[in-house]
Structure 1
Amino acid sequence: MAAAAVKILVSDEADDVVGHSILGDLQGVEIMPYDPNVAELTSSQSDAAVLLPPYRGSHRPIRLLGQLRSLRMVQLLSAGADEWSGDVPGRVTLATARGAHAGPVAEWVLSAILTQFRQWPALVRFQDQGVWAHRKYEADTLAGKRALIVGVGAIGSEVARRLEVFGVDSTLVASRRRDGVFGADVLPEIVSGHAIVVITAPLTEKTRGLVGPRFLKLMDDSALLVNAGRGQIVDTDALLVELASGRLRAALDVTDPEPLPSGHPLWAQHGVVISPHSARTVPGTNRLCYEVAAQQVAAYLRGEQPSNAVQLG
């Protein structure tokens, strides 16, 4: 008798439809569409062994975990697992889509850096006033600059590779030291001397608040802080002090709080550019995420440990 198909819950939202066919190509699975906004699953859906949260607003189905009596794996479409790691039971495998976001997010980082160095915010303000701003602003070049990249996974490594094309030399930092990469314990000794600091680290208890008053004060005058990791890694109040003084600049795709409320003082700082947690949001990223997810689920179904599995506390 053939083994019963493994039921996989996949969101029925527009960005997730592509995942139905990608995951459906796996052997021995049954794709079960579900609405991530519902409060209660059907009896058949509750028998699913694998849950994929939706591409957007992935935290919404957390409340459904208790209804999934046969759950064996939660496969995320995000690069990080901080939204889910505290809720997934220890007996359940939790895996991310690490690697899928490297290209889109690295592209955002480069665009943010170039936007600030070439003074596009100032140019747009001049344009709005109808001013031909020749010699009215000071642009800078990336050539010969040094960047500190904190978090050297797929995204951080891709950022370093792309910066090299612009003549930028990158210093790499990860949680632990390895060949060519500094450990996070030496950060206070190496922050200075970099014109650009890029945060691509995941949110953990060790990275929460990592970029605080001391870290920011160690940054060189006029240095640019780029946060494409998580908002809680940066102390917002401490960053506001540095931005208001004009000593530092920033480019933020993530903030704390998030969403950033109307009227928050960050909006008023001329030294910062802010995007609404959209660094990965370009056409095709959802497909990349589902392709990585399918690889992870396939490994699990073969009885292997998925390469992107998260160690649960």
Structure 2
Amino acid sequence: MTADVWLPIPPKDVEGLPDELTYRFWDGGETFPADPADCSFYVVPYMKPSGVGVRPLARMTSVQVVQTLSAGIDHVEPGLGDLPPGVRLCNARGVHEASTAELTLTLILASLRGIPDFVRAQDRGEWLSGFRPALADKNVLIVGYGSIGEAIEDRLTPFELARVARVARSGRTTARGPVQPLTELPALLPEADVVILSTPLTETTRGLVDAEFLKRMKDGALLVNVARGPVVDSKALLTALESGRITAALDVTDPEPLPPGHPLWQAPGLLISPHVGGPTSAFLPRAKRLLVDQLHRFVNREPLRNVILTTGAKGA
């Protein structure tokens, strides 16, 4: 089998790649490493500005697989219409769960226990004592219960929570308990002390957290977004934060990156991290394992992992 594979990681740094393929290193630079028409397996550059990853898609007339190194696929969806039928789009399920779940727990604990206030007080040389909310005995609502949502609950389990409620696009039963459909959100929000967003960005979830959603959250509740910025209506959130009724922690924002002078920077009760849920020391080892496995499956014509859709298929 002779085929070009575009990798955003230098091939020499990835052990175990199949010998049958020709590897081209491209991490989003202006110059393509070869003719995109010869690419059969395209691994989208990771954490690049909007539009970079889709730039070669219209010229990839022979591509069979598009593999993202992110859990979400929203950054490549605009270019899918340029692809020939039958292209499989795969995401990076299994790569980001640990890191994103770690950050989620970090944001929750830092927000509840007032860590940003302590850091500012340390800069001033001030001993800032007092009572703070604990995570123990809280009701937590996870909105988006895929593999990342499950990993978040794994890490929440030892914290002696009163209850964990789970919401996904459709309801189902898991070993941990029921997952409610999105239609149940209005009834669940008033009971939650912490609301975690880990849902994909789709037309259904875009703007999901609007003024009505925020109004239903209980007084003093914490909103944590590790999903995508546009899941939250930024103006509605700003209004809710300025009222002092809720607090929030955002790893993703809309717009993103959050520009200097944006009012969210100064919003009361808000902790912002700069979209760092995925890029940690855990990323590369897991990404490399996924790519090696996927490419061996590709060479051996075995079923690929994490196929989200196939272009030209009904419903795609």
Deviation at 1:303, TM superposition (A): 3.3
User: In structure 1, what is the equivalent of residue 235 of structure 2?
Assistant: 237
Matches within 5 A, 1:55-70: 55-57=46-48, 59-70=51-62
Deviation at 1:301, TM superposition (A): 3.9
User: In structure 2, what is the equivalent of residue 42 of structure 1?
Assistant: 34
Q: Which moved more, 1:89-98 or 1:271-280?
A: 89-98
Please state whether the residue corresponding to 1:42 is helix, strand or coil. Answer: coil
Q: Give the letter aligned to residue 248 of structure 1.
A: I
- The 8 Å contact of residues 172 and 179 in structure 2, kept in 1 or not, is answered as yes
Deviation at 1:292, TM superposition (A): 2.1
- The 8 Å contact of residues 41 and 67 in structure 1, kept in 2 or not, is answered as no
User: In structure 1, what is the equivalent of residue 107 of structure 2?
Assistant: 112
Quick one: which of 206, 215, 218 aligns to 1:217? 215
Q: Give the letter aligned to residue 175 of structure 1.
A: R
Separation in structure 2 between the aligned mates of residue 173 and residue 302 of structure 1, nearest angstrom: 38
Please state whether the residue corresponding to 1:171 is helix, strand or coil. Answer: strand
Quick one: which of 153, 157, 162 aligns to 1:160? 153
Q: Give the letter aligned to residue 207 of structure 2.
A: G
Could you say if the C-alpha distance between residues 80 and 293 of structure 1 is closer, same or farther in structure 2, counting changes exceeding 3 Å?
farther
- The 8 Å contact of residues 42 and 66 in structure 2, kept in 1 or not, is answered as yes
Matches within 5 A, 1:171-182: 171-179=165-173, 180-182=178-180
Structure 2 residue 127 is the aligned partner of structure 1 residue 132: yes
Separation in structure 1 between the aligned mates of residue 2 and residue 106 of structure 2, nearest angstrom: 45
Q: What fraction of aligned residue pairs are identical, expressed as a percent?
A: 36
Could you say if the C-alpha distance between residues 125 and 40 of structure 1 is closer, same or farther in structure 2, counting changes exceeding 3 Å?
closer
User: In structure 1, what is the equivalent of residue 93 of structure 2?
Assistant: 98
Deviation at 1:161, TM superposition (A): 1.3
Q: Which moved more, 1:279-288 or 1:103-112?
A: 279-288
Please state whether the residue corresponding to 1:80 is helix, strand or coil. Answer: coil
Q: Which moved more, 1:201-210 or 1:275-284?
A: 275-284
Deviation at 1:39, TM superposition (A): 4.7
Structure 2 residue 71 is the aligned partner of structure 1 residue 73: no
Please state whether the residue corresponding to 2:160 is helix, strand or coil. Answer: coil
User: In structure 1, what is the equivalent of residue 17 of structure 2?
Assistant: 25
Deviation at 1:305, TM superposition (A): 4.1
Please state whether the residue corresponding to 1:148 is helix, strand or coil. Answer: strand
Deviation at 1:41, TM superposition (A): 4.8
Deviations 1:130-149 (A, max 9, x none): 211233xx311111111100
Please state whether the residue corresponding to 1:87 is helix, strand or coil. Answer: helix
Deviations 1:182-215 (A, max 9, x none): 1111111111111100000000000001111111
Structure 2 residue 292 is the aligned partner of structure 1 residue 294: yes
Structure 2 spans left out of the alignment, 5+ residues: none
Could you say if the C-alpha distance between residues 177 and 40 of structure 1 is closer, same or farther in structure 2, counting changes exceeding 3 Å?
same
User: In structure 2, what is the equivalent of residue 5 of structure 1?
Assistant: 2
User: In structure 2, what is the equivalent of residue 147 of structure 1?
Assistant: 140
Q: Give the letter aligned to residue 157 of structure 2.
A: E
Q: Which moved more, 1:196-205 or 1:53-62?
A: 53-62
Separation in structure 2 between the aligned mates of residue 254 and residue 35 of structure 1, nearest angstrom: 22
Root-mean-square deviation (Å): 1.9
Separation in structure 2 between the aligned mates of residue 174 and residue 306 of structure 1, nearest angstrom: 24
Separation in structure 2 between the aligned mates of residue 8 and residue 239 of structure 1, nearest angstrom: 43
Q: Give the letter aligned to residue 231 of structure 1.
A: G
Deviation at 1:21, TM superposition (A): 2.0
User: In structure 2, what is the equivalent of residue 283 of structure 1?
Assistant: 281
Please state whether the residue corresponding to 2:53 is helix, strand or coil. Answer: helix
Please state whether the residue corresponding to 1:38 is helix, strand or coil. Answer: coil
Deviation at 1:85, TM superposition (A): 2.0
- The 8 Å contact of residues 175 and 183 in structure 1, kept in 2 or not, is answered as yes
Could you say if the C-alpha distance between residues 270 and 208 of structure 1 is closer, same or farther in structure 2, counting changes exceeding 3 Å?
same
